[in-house]
Amino acid sequence: MAEGTLSWERVEVEREVETVARPSLSYWQDAWIRLRANRRALISLYLVIALMAFTVLGPFVWTVDPAAQDLDQISVPPGADRVATVVDDYRPWDGATATPIEGDGGELAAPGAVEIADQATTNAVRLYWDPVAGAGGYRVYRNKYDPEPDGALGLPIGEILSPANVSFEDRLDLKAETYFYSVVALDGAGREAVGYTTVTADVTRVITAAEALDKGLIEDISDVAPGDTVKMAFHPLGTDYLGRDLLARLMHGARVSLFIGIVAPFLFVIIGILYGSAAGFMGGRTDQVLMRFADFVVALPFLLFMILLRILFNVESGDSGVGPMLVAMVMLSWPAAARLVRGQILQIREEGYIGASRLLGAKTNYLILRHMIPNTMGVILVTLTFAVPSAIFTEAFLSFIGMGVAPPTPSWGSMCNEGLKTMLTTPHELIAPAAFISITVLAFNLLGDGLRDALDARMRATE
């Protein structure tokens, strides 16, 4: 055996094993990375941010008054033609008179010729015709379609009860299109003759200089002369049934919808956290009593409660119902959040690190604030994001049934209600607010989904 000296050498510990290759991540940083990886959630987040900008900054960019009525452009869809010719002011028309011709008692003929006086404009279409022998009066019809071949004359637009008057002025909801006017003679008892005479009128869109000035389309009344054209006010998303700008109404309506949608969940989640953590931490009999009370609140019917609150707040039908709506939602929606938080707290209370912390002398306040609340934060945030769309939807529903905002204040729900009535003829009035509600609710839901995945590792969806 070879003689030698034993030399003990200190083995170099590879310190690198213990070095962390990447910087340590906090809970929130980790969550943010996870959220960013979720494209659906990220797009939703951008949508929510865009929506906030639309609501808050929108009215500064698009400064149209949401209550102003542009009666020349009622229910126009987006992108409608808006060139109008300037004409002189509207003056009442005396019409045309004729000496009544005695009839021979036989069948009444159709009027010989129906003419259009002046120019057919959206202000007025003026018709006059040759008297019919034996007529006691006339009825004037207007159609958008040719009455031939089956003689569907269209809308009975006017009735003249005297044989001496052989003219009619149509001012009813004239649009810039072609109309077919038909005149039929009536006998003494008001019965209609068979024959009719039709004339076609190509109506041009017009505006008077005074109206143009009034609407701010021109700077000065001398800027335009009759015959010039001006462009009517621009409505990017069209107008509603009273000629109000839809874009402006959507922006202002979003204020109400998002105010309720964000403030109400925020308030009731805070109440829920306080209530739930108190119940969960104290446990025992207190917990039982508190949670049974929460069960009782859950059982209260929301709509009934809302109506009672309106009475309590003395809300008349002309006042805004947003205040009572907020109160009712906060008063009735907190138990869900309270239950969740209580469940979490009950679970966390028994965890080992809580016991350790307690052994090290932690006080109750420290335990709750340092350990319990932060550990329930994920659940709370998720609850909050899911509560937002449901609150927006509740607001829309209540405004839809007329318990929300008072006119002329718009809200998305009340806009849907108004748009619904003209769904078949002018669908854009319903589609715009309905699309906004749908997109908002979907964005918040997807964001909530993404947040849940990001914040609570155990709850991650397996995809």
Partner 1 sequence: MTEIADTPSPDVPGGAAGTGLDIRSLGQLLYMGAIGFGALALLLWALAQWNEGGAGEAVDAVTGTITLSLFGEPPQLDSTRGTDAVSFNILGHTMEGLLRYDADNRLVGGVAERWQIDDAKATFWLRPDARWSNGEPITAHDFVFAWRKVLDPLNASEYAFILYGLKNAEAVNRGEMPLESVAVFALDDRTLEVHLERPVPYFDKLVAFATYNPINQAFYESREGRYAADADDLLFNGPFTIASWVHGASIRLEKNERYWDADRIRLNAIDYAYFTTDSNAIINLFKDGKTALAGLVAENLDDALQRRWRIKRFSDGAVFFMEFNHREDRLTRNYHLRKAIQVVNDSPELVYRVIKLPGNLPGASLFPVWLKGVDGYFRQEYPLADPPPDDDLGRRHLATAIDELDLDGPPTLVMLVGDSPTAKKQAEYYQNVYKQKLGIDIKIDAQIFKQRLAKMTAGDFDIVMAGWGPDYDDPMTFADLFASWNENNRGRYSNAELDEAVDIARSSSDPATRMDAMAKVQQILYDDAVIVVNYERGSVYVSHPRLKGVVRRAVGTDPDYTGAWID
Which residues contribute to the site for partner 1 (CB under 8 A)?
67-69, 71, 74, 92, 143-145, 150, 152-159, 161-162, 171-173, 189, 241-242, 316-319, 336, 340, 343, 347, 379, 382-383, 386-387, 390, 402, 406-408, 421-422, 424-425, 452, 456, 458-459, 462
Distance CA 225, CA 132 (A): 40
Helix, coil or strand: residue 206: strand
Whether 277 and 372 have beta carbons less than 8 Å apart is answered as yes
Helix, coil or strand: residue 181: strand
Judged by CB, which is closer to partner 1: 22, or 458?
A: 458
Nearest to 145 by CA among 102, 186, 181: 181
Judged by CB, which is closer to partner 1: 54, or 249?
A: 249
Diameter over CA atoms, the chain? 156
Return the amino acid letter for 192: E
Q: How far is the CB of 158 from partner 1 (least distance, A)?
A: 8
Q: How far is the CB of 22 from partner 1 (least distance, A)?
A: 26
Whether 269 and 261 have beta carbons less than 8 Å apart is answered as no
Q: How far is the CB of 90 from partner 1 (least distance, A)?
A: 9
Q: How far is the CB of 13 from partner 1 (least distance, A)?
A: 38
Q: How far is the CB of 403 from partner 1 (least distance, A)?
A: 12
Distance CA 290, CA 341 (A): 13
Instruction: Give the alpha-carbon dihedral of 219, 225, 227, 233, to 10 degrees.
Output: 10
Structure tokens at 183: 């005149």
* Radius of gyration over every alpha carbon of the chain, rounded to an integer in angstroms: 36
Q: How far is the CB of 131 from partner 1 (least distance, A)?
A: 19
Q: Which own/partner pairs from 396-404 qualify as long-range (CB within 8 Å, at least 24 positions apart)?
A: 396/257, 396/437, 398/306, 398/321, 398/325, 399/256, 403/306, 403/307, 403/310, 403/321, 403/325, 404/256, 404/320, 404/321, 404/322, 404/325
Judged by CB, which is closer to partner 1: 24, or 63?
A: 63
Q: How far is the CB of 336 from partner 1 (least distance, A)?
A: 5
Judged by CB, which is closer to partner 1: 112, or 151?
A: 151
Judged by CB, which is closer to partner 1: 127, or 157?
A: 157
Judged by CB, which is closer to partner 1: 103, or 419?
A: 419
Judged by CB, which is closer to partner 1: 37, or 71?
A: 71
